């Protein structure tokens, strides 16, 4: 049997991992410093029959993750540009059109026509906001079957495309967007915009402990950044100051950057640098 770990924000199950953590996803949210190991942990200390276990968990906040995603270039502004450029390829209309009983041979033609008429980035953004706020309070739509369109307040075209994509048992999209066209990081960033900055983001992967011998070590290593953003500076003093400042002020971003003292082939400093702005 498989084991699962859920990336959670309040009652929202944002993303599901099976047996192993995907490092490209984990690194978007967490650093190695966000990992905690708690031996002899009880989910409910008042339960006399409960068995203790070793808890392995990542914890951060929405605000820190938003800053992290923005620093990596996954801003909402950039998302809007990509959305507008790729909207016909990116949106997954199949579940909604199946609900409307549209003939499969007409899916592409029908979707394109409806996108032109009913979809814009602003409308999509509003629909994501409506659905995420519902899920934060009531739980994820994809894991529930009792809520109705009225419960969620589904009314617009964009609402329906997202809602029926979440209800699709095959889950071929992520909130109605094809992740092969628009990266998941952009969708995460838009979702986080509708959470409170202080909301906790947690990923408990304790279940993986019994899956394979290397499951936990690999999960802990999932936050390691292989390719950092290189920042060119003018000298060792600048390098030391910037590294210290970033670690003190933005510790959740410090693993993303490498400050490099830049010299030419003769060993002379070039008067060039790349500055960071937060």
Task: Sketch the domain layout of the chain as residue ranges.
Answer: 4-69+195-221, 87-182, 227-278
Q: Please, what is the Cα angle at 208 between 206 and 212, to 5 degrees?
A: 145
Determine the pLDDT at residue 270: 55
Determine the pLDDT at residue 197: 98
Ranges under pLDDT 50 in the chain: 272-278
Q: What does pTM read for this prediction?
A: 0.89
Q: Is 60:30 a contact under the CB 8 Å cutoff?
A: yes
Determine the pLDDT at residue 170: 83
Q: Is 240:212 a contact under the CB 8 Å cutoff?
A: no
Q: Is 166:142 a contact under the CB 8 Å cutoff?
A: yes
Determine the pLDDT at residue 117: 98
Cα distances (angstroms) measured from residue 214 to each of 19, 211, 217, 219, 221: 11, 9, 5, 8, 10
Q: Is 53:206 a contact under the CB 8 Å cutoff?
A: yes
Half-sphere exposure of 140 (CA within 13 A, CB side): 18
Determine the pLDDT at residue 148: 86
């Amino acid at each position: 049997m498989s084991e699962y770990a859920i990336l959670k924000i309040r009652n929202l199950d944002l993303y599901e991992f099976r047996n192993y953590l995907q490092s490209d996803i984990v690194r978007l949210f967490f650093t190695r410093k966000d990992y905690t190991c708690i031996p002899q942990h009880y989910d409910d200390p008042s339960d006399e029959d409960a068995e203790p276990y070793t808890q392995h968990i990542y914890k951060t906040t929405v605000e820190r993750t938003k800053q992290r995603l923005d620093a990596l270039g996954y801003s909402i502004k950039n998302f809007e540009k990509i959305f507008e450029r790729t909207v016909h390829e990116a949106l997954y209309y199949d579940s909604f059109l199946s609900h409307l009983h549209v003939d499969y041979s007409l899916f592409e033609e029908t979707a394109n026509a409806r996108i032109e008429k009913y979809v814009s980035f602003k409308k999509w953004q509003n629909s994501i906001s409506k659905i995420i706020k519902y899920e934060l309070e009531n739980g994820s739509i994809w894991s529930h079957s009792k809520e109705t369109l009225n419960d969620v307040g589904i009314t617009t075209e964009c609402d329906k495309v997202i809602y029926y994509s979440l209800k699709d048992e095959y889950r071929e999209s992520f909130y109605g967007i094809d992740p092969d066209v628009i990266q998941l990081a952009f969708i995460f960033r838009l979702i986080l915009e509708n959470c409170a900055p202080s909301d906790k983001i947690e990923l408990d992967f304790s279940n993986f402990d019994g899956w394979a011998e290397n499951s936990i070590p690999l999960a802990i290593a999932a936050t390691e950044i292989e390719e950092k953003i290189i920042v060119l500076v003018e000298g060792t003093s600048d390098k030391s100051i910037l590294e210290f400042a970033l670690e003190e002020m933005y510790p959740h971003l410090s693993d993303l950057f490498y400050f490099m003292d830049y010299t030419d082939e003769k060993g002379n400093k070039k008067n060039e640098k790349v500055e960071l702005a937060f």
